[in-house]
Amino acid sequence: MNFTGIVIGLATFLIIGCFHPIVIKAEYHFSKRCWWFFLIAGIAFAALSLVVGNVIGSTVAGVLAFSCFWSILELFEQENRVKKGWFPKKGQEKYDFDEIVPRRGTNSYKWDSAANADIIPLWVADMDFRTAPAVTEALKKRVEHGIFGYTRVPDEYYDAVIEWFSRRHGLHIRKEWIIYTSGVVPAVSAVIKALTVPGDKVLIQTPVYNCFFSSIRNNGCGTVASPLRRTGNTFEIDFDDFEAKAADPDVKVFLLCSPHNPVGRVWTRDELVKMGEICIRNGVTVISDEIHCELVYPGHKHVPFASISSEFAARSVTCVSPSKAFNIAGLQIADIVAADPEIREKIDKAININEVCDVNPFGVIATVAAYGKGEPWLEQLLDYIRGNYDFMVRFCAEKLPEFPIAELQGTYLAWMDCSVLGEKSEIMEEELMKNAGIWLNAGTMYGAEGEGWLRWNLACPRARLEEALDRFLSFARGRLSGTR
Ligand SMILES: Cc1ncc(COP(=O)(O)O)c(C=O)c1O
């Protein structure tokens, strides 16, 4: 046994230990399993060197083994911090969603439409966070080029969309199924045009995203509503009603909102299967607006309608965009995914008739960057928004128990029952803006079933949400005690 080797080895361990911040930098490049392998190899080599009396060999191997051991400890420690929510995961930067980024004076529809600069706008569905840094970087590079002529959509774009939906959502799209356009509303409108003739009817589940009503109306169609049924603090489909409405021979299309704006539901596979089977039985084609599909919280899973079966894919058209999740709605880009070639041909025609077949260079670049490099940012965004919702629920449970909030399974839009105030939603919206300095959306924007409800946009720094809730609290308390 060579004791000199052990002593030198130990001394070196201590020296390296003092410099461990340098050593652990390397850990970012290896997984824990890798470090375990190095550790065992190092110990084995050190032991072997000791047995044969090789001082230098045992020292070098011992040092390596020790630094590996240290790295493993660090990884354990960091995983623990990640679990407790203190620290970002390895390889992820910490994105600061608490940062207040001023938006007034940027031609923001949400911020610059308010009459009064003190109003906190929690209405339009965009976010008060900067987009993923990867998106900004890619856009900066494109801006620096300085020429912004007509743009073509490269293969890289299709690859990014196909890869993202396959990996994240299990939806396997072929390149020829994708038709790009300038937004999900233009997409929905063109698909309605493609699948109906004026006088046909479109089935919707109310309350629902307000532009559904205008897109249907603008195509000369009528609306048939199958209202969602409130059950506890969530909403369900009344399948008997849905089936009866789908059976109307004039109903040619069902416009599904999945996840659902504004009630926050993420439809389960069973619900989607049931809706799909009813539609197929009645010859109704499904347009599935899945713009909110990235914004889904733990315990729920977004199931793309078209991923359920090849028949569902053939009898449906899906509309998607990175715009909600990556906060790039102003860049105006979206995709229509249609597996059926006949349907696709009709959509192509409608897109051309509506003149929405061109996109801008920034939308293309941003989509590629968001789907390709934006996922770690998105994961932290989801944690943050979920934290905002939990904060709001706790706040209301404690201070505003008369105002139940629907369970938020998806989207960043909270749906609050304000019927206790006994006031029309539109009046509440107006009074909240005038007297409390917060701008929320009246529930009736989403159909008559939204009467008595308000929609809150939770995609803002928590301090701003807290301030808005405080303002709402004093407004509501005043109203409930009859002093306002
Ligand atoms: C369900 C739904 N579809 C579409 C949109 C808007 O899509 P775009 O801005 O791409 O037209 C929204 C915006 O809130 C939405 O909630």
Distance CA 275, CA 254 (A): 9
Q: How close is the Cα of 420 to the center of ligand 1, in Å?
A: 30
| 144-156 tens-digit pLDDT | 999 999 999 999 9
Let me know if residue 138 belongs to a domain: yes
Are residue 360 and residue 262 in the same domain, yes or no?
yes
User: What is the atom index within ligand 1 of the atom nearest the CA of 208?
Assistant: 1
Let me know if residue 278 belongs to a domain: yes
User: What is the atom index within ligand 1 of the atom nearest the CA of 257?
Assistant: 1
Which is higher by pLDDT, 180 or 3?
180
Contact criterion met (CB below 8 Å) for 259 and 302: yes
Are residue 405 and residue 333 in the same domain, yes or no?
no
Among the candidates 354, 374, 394, a domain finishes at 374
> Could you tell me the strand order of the sheet in which 178-181 lies?
178-181, 334-338, 316-320, 285-289, 251-257, 201-204, 222-225
Q: Per mean pLDDT, which range of 27-31, 114-118, 176-180 is the poorest?
A: 27-31
| 49-99 tens-digit pLDDT | 777 777 777 777 777 777 767 766 766 655 554 454 444 554 455 899 999
Q: Which of 109, 113, 121, 129 is nearest to 455 (CA)?
A: 121
- pLDDT for res 253: 98
Q: Which of 292, 323, 289, 322 is nearest to 306 (CA)?
A: 289
Distance CA 170, CA 308 (A): 10
| 213-226 tens-digit pLDDT | 999 999 999 999 99
Are residue 153 and residue 238 in the same domain, yes or no?
yes
Q: How close is the Cα of 82 to the center of ligand 1, in Å?
A: 33
Are residue 327 and residue 457 in the same domain, yes or no?
no
Q: How close is the Cα of 184 to the center of ligand 1, in Å?
A: 6
> What is the rounded average pLDDT of the residues 355-366?
97
| 390-447 tens-digit pLDDT | 999 999 999 999 999 999 999 999 999 999 999 999 999 999 999 999 999 999 999 9
- pLDDT for res 94: 85
Q: How close is the Cα of 102 to the center of ligand 1, in Å?
A: 23
Among the candidates 374, 399, 425, a domain finishes at 374
Using pLDDT thresholds of 50, 70 and 90, give the confidence band for residue 25. very low
Q: How close is the Cα of 52 to the center of ligand 1, in Å?
A: 72
Distance CA 317, CA 314 (A): 8
Are residue 54 and residue 20 in the same domain, yes or no?
yes
Q: Counting Cβ atoms within 10 Å, is residue 425 exposed (0-12), middle (13-18) or buried (19+)?
A: buried
Mean pLDDT taken over the chain:
91
Are residue 258 and residue 364 in the same domain, yes or no?
yes
Are residue 354 and residue 441 in the same domain, yes or no?
no
Q: How close is the Cα of 189 to the center of ligand 1, in Å?
A: 12
- pLDDT for res 84: 46
Distance CA 118, CA 120 (A): 6
Q: How close is the Cα of 428 to the center of ligand 1, in Å?
A: 24
Q: Give yes or no for a cis peptide into 259 (omega within 30° of 0).
A: yes
Are residue 161 and residue 263 in the same domain, yes or no?
yes
The set of protein residues with a Cβ atom below 6 angstroms from ligand 1 is: 125, 183-185, 209, 257, 261, 289, 291, 321, 323, 329, 334
User: What is the atom index within ligand 1 of the atom nearest the CA of 186?
Assistant: 11
Q: Give the dihedral sign, CA 117/123/126/130.
A: positive
**Number of separate domains in the chain:** 3
Let me know if residue 40 belongs to a domain: yes
- pLDDT for res 50: 75
Are residue 471 and residue 369 in the same domain, yes or no?
no
- pLDDT at residue 449 greater than cutoff 70: yes
- Looking at residue 382, which CATH number applies to its domain? 3.90.1150.10
- pLDDT at residue 22 greater than cutoff 70: no
Distance CA 464, CA 35 (A): 44
Out of 122, 124, 185, mutate this one to test ligand 1's pocket (max ligand atoms within 8 Å of CB): namely 185
CA dihedral 148, 152, 157, 159 (to 10 degrees): -150
- pLDDT for res 51: 79
Which contacts (CB < 8 Å, 24+ apart) does range 350-356 have?
350/190, 350/191, 350/193, 350/194, 351/179, 351/181, 351/190, 353/190, 353/193, 354/186, 354/189, 354/190, 354/193, 356/181, 356/182, 356/183, 356/186, 356/187, 356/190
Let me know if residue 384 belongs to a domain: yes
Which is higher by pLDDT, 363 or 62?
363
Are residue 334 and residue 311 in the same domain, yes or no?
yes
Among the candidates 311, 343, 374, a domain finishes at 374
Which is higher by pLDDT, 22 or 389?
389
- pLDDT for res 187: 98
Let me know if residue 432 belongs to a domain: yes
User: What is the atom index within ligand 1 of the atom nearest the CA of 321?
Assistant: 10
Q: How many other β-carbons are positioned within 10 Å of the β-carbon of residue 316?
A: 25
Contact criterion met (CB below 8 Å) for 287 and 255: yes
| 292-326 tens-digit pLDDT | 999 999 999 999 999 999 999 999 999 999 999 99
Out of 126, 263, 324, 415, mutate this one to test ligand 1's pocket (max ligand atoms within 8 Å of CB): namely 324
User: What is the atom index within ligand 1 of the atom nearest the CA of 184?
Assistant: 10
pTM as predicted: 0.82
Let me know if residue 88 belongs to a domain: no
Are residue 370 and residue 382 in the same domain, yes or no?
no
CA dihedral 321, 325, 330, 335 (to 10 degrees): 0
Q: Counting Cβ atoms within 10 Å, is residue 29 exposed (0-12), middle (13-18) or buried (19+)?
A: exposed
- pLDDT for res 18: 57
Q: How close is the Cα of 185 to the center of ligand 1, in Å?
A: 6
| 327-352 tens-digit pLDDT | 999 999 999 999 999 999 999 999 99
User: What is the atom index within ligand 1 of the atom nearest the CA of 334?
Assistant: 10
Which is higher by pLDDT, 450 or 36?
450
Distance CA 207, CA 225 (A): 9
Tokens 């910490």 found at: 94
Q: How many CA atoms lie within 13 Å of 413's alpha carbon, on the beta-carbon side?
A: 27
| 238-265 tens-digit pLDDT | 999 999 999 999 999 999 999 999 999 9
Q: Which residue range is the domain that position 55 belongs to?
A: 3-83
Query: 335 to each of 54, 176, 319, 400, how far by Cα in Å?
Result: 66, 12, 6, 41
User: What is the atom index within ligand 1 of the atom nearest the CA of 329?
Assistant: 9
Let me know if residue 95 belongs to a domain: no
Using pLDDT thresholds of 50, 70 and 90, give the confidence band for residue 33. low
Q: How close is the Cα of 160 to the center of ligand 1, in Å?
A: 21
Q: Per mean pLDDT, which range of 6-10, 275-279, 294-298, 408-412 is the poorest?
A: 6-10
Are residue 287 and residue 193 in the same domain, yes or no?
yes
Residue with CA at minimum distance from ligand 1 atom 7:
184
- Looking at residue 294, which CATH number applies to its domain? 3.40.640.10
User: What is the atom index within ligand 1 of the atom nearest the CA of 411?
Assistant: 16
Let me know if residue 93 belongs to a domain: no
- pLDDT for res 75: 61
Q: How close is the Cα of 350 to the center of ligand 1, in Å?
A: 19
Q: How close is the Cα of 299 to the center of ligand 1, in Å?
A: 24
User: What is the atom index within ligand 1 of the atom nearest the CA of 125?
Assistant: 14
Out of 261, 336, 455, mutate this one to test ligand 1's pocket (max ligand atoms within 8 Å of CB): namely 261
